[in-house]
Structure 1
Amino acid sequence: MPEPHAVDPLAPERTAVEMWTDGACKGNPGPGGWGAWMRTGSYERELFGGDPVTTNNRMELTAVIEGLKALNRPCAVTLHVDSTYVMNGMSRWLAGWKRNGWRTADKKPVKNEDLWRALDEQVARHTVTWVWVKGHSGDPGNERADQLANRGVDQVRAAR
């Protein structure tokens, strides 16, 4: 894993940011939340939110989108996710979906296309290095993102 203060050789002016994201859903569909924790140098930022009726996959995607949107300039982001859905989407499926007019290999519409398009747009602004972490395995950043996602669920439930 790159050092948090490493300079991106392709864009040396870009600030190095480490980010962890997570989504949570109580029922699938059900009330859900998303969380993002990021740091650069000694600066840290927490973000979270939720949706009263959603799915876990939508919250996983939303966490990454909102985290990247919060960066006010292009950055070199080391992005830690525990979602194989997000990892596979970005590393294996996205290029084919775009090539096939947002259709899967079996010609079905891509689920969550709106969020995949938004994520693609955000990723294009930054230099992103994707890191998969096993959820609930003691990774401090992942645990913090999970707590934030659950705060998003609690916020949605409290608003009912």
Structure 2
Amino acid sequence: MRNGDEVDEESTRRVVIYTDGACSGNPGPGGWGVWLRYGEHEKEMYGSEKQTTNNRMELMAAIRALESLKKPLPVLVHTDSSYVRNGITSWVENWKRRGWRTADKKPVKNVDLWQRLDEVASRYDVEWRWVRGHSGDEGNERADKLAQRGRDEAAGR
């Protein structure tokens, strides 16, 4: 919550999600983090992979957040990844039309995760909002710390 017991109005109408990914090296050990809020309820999640990329961890955060939802409520997803936001709001429809190929006919990178995100996002009314990373946004900072925890576990720290 923002101010003690005060519940912000945004999180009473829809699930508010913050996602982030982290990677040491690219590829290297990586982690993803998620902070979800709905009314007075909050949930934190994180995970990791020993050998991955930052983009894959950004995608995994969004996927795992949406997969964790139990009711078909409206959702607001905050991400500091232009790759995720632009991909799911602009690029994915063209990729599907082209058989998961880019405009220059190359296979879409991370197609397995894009297909998974597209499928799970289709179950919800999702608004995708980009937020500047490391700018003091409470939700982004929390998701970042969770992603770092996952990355550090993957790296054996």
Q: State if a TM-score over 0.5 links the two structures.
A: yes
Match of 2:18 among 20, 23, 44: 20
Aligned residues: 149
- One-letter code of the match for 1:43? H
The runs of at least 4 consecutive aligned structure 1 residues that moved more than 3 Å come to none
Tell me the SS of whatever aligns to 1:146: helix
Taking the aligned partners of 1:107 and 1:144, their CA distance within structure 2 comes to 38
Query: Equivalences for 1:63-74 in 2 at 5 Å?
Result: 63-74=61-72
Are residue 111 (structure 1) and residue 118 (structure 2) matched?
Answer: no
TM-score by length of 2: 0.92
Taking the aligned partners of 1:138 and 1:85, their CA distance within structure 2 comes to 21
Are residue 77 (structure 1) and residue 84 (structure 2) matched?
Answer: no
Shift of 1:114: 0.1
Tell me the SS of whatever aligns to 2:74: strand
Q: Deviations over 1:28-86 (max 9, x none)?
A: 00000000000001110000000000000000000000010011122211100000000
Shift of 1:138: 0.5
- Alpha-carbon RMSD across the aligned residues, in angstroms, is 1.1
Q: Deviations over 1:83-119 (max 9, x none)?
A: 0000110122100000000000000000000000000
Taking the aligned partners of 1:91 and 1:139, their CA distance within structure 2 comes to 22
Match of 1:37 among 35, 55, 60: 35
- One-letter code of the match for 1:48? Y
- One-letter code of the match for 2:109? K
Query: Equivalences for 1:7-156 in 2 at 5 Å?
Result: 16-156=14-154
Tell me the SS of whatever aligns to 1:67: helix
Tell me the SS of whatever aligns to 1:4: helix
Taking the aligned partners of 2:141 and 2:28, their CA distance within structure 1 comes to 22
Structure 2 stretches of 5 or more lacking a match? 1-8
Q: Is the 8 A contact 2:32 2:148 kept in 1?
A: yes
Percent identity reads 58
Structure 1 stretches of 5 or more lacking a match? 7-15
Taking the aligned partners of 2:136 and 2:83, their CA distance within structure 1 comes to 20
